[in-house]
Chains A and B, each alone.
Chain A
Amino acid sequence: MKLFPVRGGIHPEYRKDLTSEKAIVVLPMSAALYIPLQQHIGAPAEVLVTAGDQVKKGQMIARNQGTVSASHHAPTSGRIREITEVAAPHPSGLPQTTIILEPDGKDEWGELPEPIADPFAADPRAINDRVAQSGIVGMGGAAFPSAIKLNLGGQKKLEILLLNGAECEPYLTCDDRVMREHADEVVDGARIMAHALGTPRIVIGIEQNKPQAIELMTRAASVFSNVEVVAVPVQYPMGSERHLVQAITGIETPARKLTADLGIVVHNVSTARAVHHAVRFGRPLVARVVTVSGGAIRDPKNILAPIGARIADLVEFCGGFAARPENVVNGGPMMGQPLPSLDAPVVKGTSGILALTAEEINDRPDSACIRCGNCITICPCGLSPVEMSAFIRKDNLEMAAKLGVTDCFSCGSCSWVCPSHIPLVHYFNYAKGALRDQENDRRKNERIKTLAEVRTIRIEKAAEAKRAALAARKPAAGTAPAAGASEAKATTEEKVNP
């Protein structure tokens, strides 16, 4: 298949060989599982259990609420210890409401929804409902509720389901292992998703540095005429949705549009496997494969961990630390987030836990920019990091926004390539946050202004009406004090009811 060039990109040290030949192993059941109510983009789920409840594996313990949200299920059977605040796997380390489950060790499945016997004959809505019911979110890292993305079929004319098996982040091998060990399940899941979306074609994009995965997936796909496996060049960030779409179709997704607007929906390979489990067996998403790697880990592994397992348990299962980690990262080294604590749990979007040594990170104090222009050459978004960062340093966010800082998706290529080790992405993240705040403030002010204007008009109208009533009653003297009292009452009402 003809591929299309993609702008920029880098070739970091991949270090995937630390875990690429390590088959997926199951994590021994922990003493407790910590299931946060918000593991996804959108609103947190609503708790369905109380402390002391006995739950079975796969039982829904928190239900999605609002349009963008995801349900959560008991990853094993056991007793709900409590529902409390626990540090989230988020750089802030802020606590969030979490269900703590004590496994009973039996790992008994509860009553699951009936498997959908012939998903290809089923109504796409039934599949979407099942995916929503199973609490499936994008497992590539973004953790966007998958059912919403599958619903796009009803809204737009879609051509291609693009399955993202690029796994362009260094170190991570969880998708690689899933494709190698469960190729049939991934392909089946993809076919079910394509049916739900109504896309005639399925393309599975895998970076060329995973030859076994390409071979096994090609074999699994060869049975089906509409499924095609494409080996894409090893070029970070190939796994970015827009760039993968460009490499495979040659189409550049317009800014502020979705790939779905082009008729292409992108899902992660592990998500496809989760859909397979949900549809074929009625099993919700209660576990995922996590790559635990990095130079500071004694024995790196690909671990099938229940959602809610403490990261410390995974690290311990890998023999603990062989060296002092400079940073523990949630996700890949390029776009992952620093973990504030090992007490945080594995969530549905946790693709990797990396304990990295200072040598691996190779960060140094920043020095003056020498304008080498490398950041511009490699920026996959066609931005000018050197210029944007100069404006952000001067706190000129307006110019940074003009140069497109909000188009940056923080892939980290510029920070990686910078010979002066300037923390460019750090600046851009700051600018994006500050600009978002400004935008929110602006909206809020506008809303307040509108409300205030409405209020003024309302008061004027009321006063007008009163004057009119007063004028009508003028001939009858002595009623003025009463009218004054009612006016005062009206003002009080305005105050309490803005």
Chain B
Amino acid sequence: MSVVVSAKKSGPFAHGFNSVQKTMFTVLLALAPATAFNLYLFGWPAILLFAVTVGACVVIEAVCLQLAGKPVAATLADCSAVLTGWLLAMSLPPWAPWWVGVLASVFAIAIAKHAFGGLGQNVFNPAMVGRTVMLISFPVAMTLWVAPHPLFSPGAPGFADALAITFGGQIPDTMSAASALGHIKTELSRGIPVTQSIIQVPDLMDMTLGYRAGSLGETSLLLVLAGGLFLMVKRVISWHIPASMIGSLFLIAALFHAIDPARFASGTFHLVSGATFLGAFFIATDYVTSPVSKSGQIIFGVGVGLLTWSIRNFAGYPEGVAFAVLLMNSLTPIIDQYTRPRAFGRNRKGEPLSLEKKP
């Protein structure tokens, strides 16, 4: 009974059951309720755009893997391209034409992800790169917001109309609407104070449930929040980035609102509008582009929160989450470097602790 078993590597000879695929799958699952509800709200054009974007991401990923000589099928199975496409679709105007989704996918997958070396190597969040490049390059197409037209409701586009909207680029003028953040910014630029313009945006309940204009992921806060909490329960993400981002955004907005309510919208308004929740739970928490240590994640979250508020208030664009995330992405390596945990038995500088003093 002389069985010789060769070990190719050292221990451990036990491994957890977590995997990249499982992680990505859990995130997709967490996104599903909010996505389904929003696809329902914005109807067939949104469904078509969603399918086009996710499909484009997967195809581009496959092409890039092929070009790089990496295993195609095995890598596609990790679902990271699906997730990127999914998040990208949720950040686009729901009735945007097909080429917006495809072009955004090219920037997200080919440029932001694979040009940097593929999964795990990218500095910037691919979905946000896709969205931001499109927003800068095609501001008109990227700000064509519509009010919700739930599936099968009167006035909602049928499948044929949807084909015309998505692939023909014909959005009926009457259907367009401004997002809350956009509305306030435009009014402010015309000299109308926030205190007045805010009356015309949907009330808090509609904002929370999602009955308002915006991209797929910007509306329906409750379902996004539920998905985020689900991810926390599943320990895919921790509280550090969402709490620090939402907290810092709320605090600075509330502070300035207290100082000048005519110029600055309230903290609550900043929380419920735009992509705050989607950004906090699903975008800023992207593993690859956020810091690895918990203290680094708090710095990152606070940075995203403060930058979001600054961009929303002082920059040319009404929404700032995507820009804020990208800016903080660029700081991630340096945050990582300065927030390494303290090694056991050593002080922060890496010197052994002295015997007399307790740490």
Chain A positions within 8 Å of B, measured between CB atoms, are 7, 10, 12-13, 91, 170, 242, 250-257, 261-262, 312, 315-316, 320-321, 325-329, 333-343, 354, 356, 360-364, 367-374, 376-377, 379-384, 386-387, 402-404, 407, 410, 412, 415-421, 423, 425-426, 429
Is A416 within 8 A of B12, CB to CB?
A: yes
B12, B78, B346, B352 interface centre (most CB from chain A within 10 Å): B12
Is A334 within 8 A of B288, CB to CB?
A: no
The majority secondary structure among interface residues of chain B is: loop
The contact of B288 among A7, A340, A361, A371, by CB within 8 Å, is A371
Whole-angstrom distance between the Cβ of A180 and the nearest chain B Cβ: 24
Apart from the given pairs A371-B120, A382-B342, A420-B120, 17 other A-B contacts in the complex at a CB distance below 8 Å: A10-B16, A252-B344, A340-B4, A340-B5, A340-B7, A361-B14, A362-B15, A363-B13, A364-B19, A367-B119, A368-B118, A373-B291, A373-B293, A402-B350, A410-B11, A412-B11, A425-B10
Is B343 within 8 A of A312, CB to CB?
A: no
The contact of B11 among A312, A335, A367, by CB within 8 Å, is A335
Is A327 within 8 A of B7, CB to CB?
A: yes
Chain A neighbourhood of B3, CB < 8 A = 321, 325, 328, 342
B22: interface (CB < 8 Å): yes
A370-B288, A416-B14, A426-B10 known; A315-B341 Cβ under 8 A: no
Chain B neighbourhood of A367, CB < 8 A = 20, 75, 78, 119
**A-B complex: 7 closest residue pairs judged by Cβ atoms:** A338-B7, A412-B12, A373-B292, A255-B345, A254-B353, A255-B352, A368-B120
Closest to B289 in A: A371
A252-B358, A377-B294 known; A338-B343 Cβ under 8 A: no
Chain A neighbourhood of B355, CB < 8 A = 254, 257, 261-262
The majority secondary structure among interface residues of chain A is: loop
The contact of A381 among B7, B120, B344, by CB within 8 Å, is B344
Is B343 within 8 A of A404, CB to CB?
A: yes
Is B340 within 8 A of A384, CB to CB?
A: yes
B14, B119, B342, B359 interface centre (most CB from chain A within 10 Å): B14
Closest to B15 in A: A362
The contact of A417 among B6, B16, B297, B344, by CB within 8 Å, is B16
A421-B19, A426-B9 known; A315-B14 Cβ under 8 A: no
Chain A neighbourhood of B11, CB < 8 A = 329, 333-338, 410, 412, 415, 425
Cα of A436 to Cα of B20 in the assembled complex, Å: 34
Cα of A370 to Cα of B297 in the assembled complex, Å: 15
Chain A neighbourhood of B5, CB < 8 A = 325-328, 338-340
B78, B343, B353 interface centre (most CB from chain A within 10 Å): B343
Indicate with 1 or 0, residue by residue over B247-284, a CB within 8 angstroms of chain A CB atoms.
00000000000000000000000000000000000000
